[in-house]
């Protein structure tokens, strides 16, 4: 009998083409997980269980990292949760880890039942090279004015049409999203921007980050956000910040 397994996954997204499985490449997080589960089934499950789909709470872009992606998958297997976790971690590459496995209700859906997600974008503006963090931060030429950025971020809060902050020009679904909080924290040479919202469009966090940095550098006015939102025009927002500085931190449920 199939059970619904809830997974908590962390990964270094540097060498992957994002979360979502793709036809042209197997180098995605979902693809790696599903490949290993399919090989596991003849050993610990039903050979007929060929249709395995690992459902992620979000679709992180190529090069984006995660500390706690939530996913779920239906499996008919003879090993327990700890056995499933051990098997996956034994055969997954070193830059992907299944940190927790537990049986969820059949109605649990990692994406549809998520209430909010928290992402963190990390910038570095020190004088020395961040040798050990270089794959996880965006290096800035100089320090932006964080107070300008904090002030501008206030206009992102609430429900808005974020079409101007969407990297997909062919997006046909609703581009309305809700941002609950934007917190910008300075820690010595690091600037971390935490975004919490109900959902995010393609590249949305990276475009919001790029826009806030432009404001912090004085290249855009501090009150630019409202006009950008109203324009519904991607060209009015700032650049898309590099993927490597972005990390999914948490998926929030009841």
The CA–CA distances, whole Å, from 191 to 93, 122, 182, 212 equal: 30, 6, 13, 12
Do 96 and 129 reside in the same domain of the chain? no
* Residue 92 sits in the same domain as residue 137: no
Asked whether residue 146 is assigned to any structural domain, the reply reads yes
Sign of CA dihedral 24, 26, 28, 30: positive
- Domain boundary pick from 84, 104, 124: 104
Q: Is residue 109 part of a domain?
A: no
Question: Residue 74 pairs with which residues in a beta bridge?
Answer: 4
Q: What pLDDT, on the 0 to 100 scale, is given for residue 23?
A: 79
The fraction of the chain above a pLDDT of 70, given in percent, is 98
**Distance, CA of 244 to CA of 254 (rounded, Å):** 30
Same domain, 80 and 120: no
Q: Is the pLDDT of residue 105 over 60?
A: yes
Instruction: Let me know whether 200 and 223 are in one domain.
Output: yes
Query: Helices then strands (H, E): number in the chain?
Result: 5, 10
Decide if 198 is inside a domain. Answer: yes
Assess whether 161 and 207 both reside in one domain: yes
180 is in which domain, residue-wise? 116-252
Q: Is residue 111 part of a domain?
A: no
Of 12, 27, 35, 61, which one is the catalytic site residue? 61
Is there a catalytic annotation at residue 61? yes
12 shares a domain with 91 = yes
Is 84:120 a contact under the CB 8 Å cutoff?
no
* 90 and 183 together in one domain: no
In a domain, 110, yes or no: no
Q: Given this model, what pLDDT does residue 49 score?
A: 54
User: Does residue 196 lie in a domain region?
Assistant: yes
Q: What CATH number is associated with residue 21?
A: 3.30.70.580
Each residue of 121-167: pLDDT tens digit? 999 999 999 999 999 999 999 999 999 999 999 999 999 999 999 99
233 and 123 together in one domain: yes
> In this structure, are 80 and 175 located in the same domain?
no
* 26 band by pLDDT with thresholds 50, 70 and 90: confident
pLDDT tens digits along 85-99: 999 999 999 999 999
Same domain, 205 and 90: no
- 137 and 240 together in one domain: yes
Residues 76 and 128 in one domain: no
pLDDT per residue as tens digits for the range 158-200: 999 999 999 999 888 999 999 999 999 999 999 999 999 999 9
Provide the CATH number for the domain around residue 152. Answer: 3.30.70.660
Residue of 21, 18, 32 lying closest to 244 (CA atoms): 18
For the entire predicted model, the pTM comes to 0.95
**Contact residues for 184 (Cβ-Cβ < 8 A; gap 6+):** 146, 149, 150, 153, 191, 192, 193, 194, 212
**End-of-domain residue from the set 52, 77, 104:** 104
Question: How many domains does one find in the chain?
Answer: 2
């Amino acid at each position: 009998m199939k059970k619904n397994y809830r997974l908590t996954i962390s990964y270094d997204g540097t060498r992957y083409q994002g979360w979502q499985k793709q036809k042209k490449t197997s180098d995605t997080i979902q693809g790696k997980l599903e490949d290993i589960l399919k090989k596991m089934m003849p050993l610990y499950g039903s050979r007929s269980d060929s249709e395995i789909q690992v459902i992620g709470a979000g679709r992180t872009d190529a090069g984006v990292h995660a500390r706690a992606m939530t996913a779920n998958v239906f499996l008919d297997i003879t090993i327990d949760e700890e056995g499933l976790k051990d098997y996956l971690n034994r055969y997954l590459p070193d830059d992907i880890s299944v940190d927790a496995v537990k049986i969820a209700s059949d109605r649990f859906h990692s994406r549809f039942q998520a209430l909010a997600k928290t992402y963190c974008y990390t910038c570095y503006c020190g004088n020395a090279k961040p040798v050990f963090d270089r794959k996880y931060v965006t290096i800035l030429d100089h320090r932006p004015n964080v107070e300008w950025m904090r002030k501008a971020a206030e206009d992102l809060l609430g429900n808005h049409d974020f079409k101007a902050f969407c990297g997909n020009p062919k997006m046909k679904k609703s581009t309305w999203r809700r941002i609950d909080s934007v917190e910008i924290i300075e820690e010595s040479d690091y600037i971390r921007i935490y975004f919490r919202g109900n959902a995010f469009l393609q590249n949305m966090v990276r475009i919001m980050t790029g826009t806030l940095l432009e404001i912090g550098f004085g290249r855009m006015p501090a009150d630019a956000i409202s006009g950008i939102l109203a324009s519904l025009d991607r060209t009015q927002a700032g650049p898309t910040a590099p993927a490597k500085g972005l990390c999914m931190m948490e998926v929030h449920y009841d």
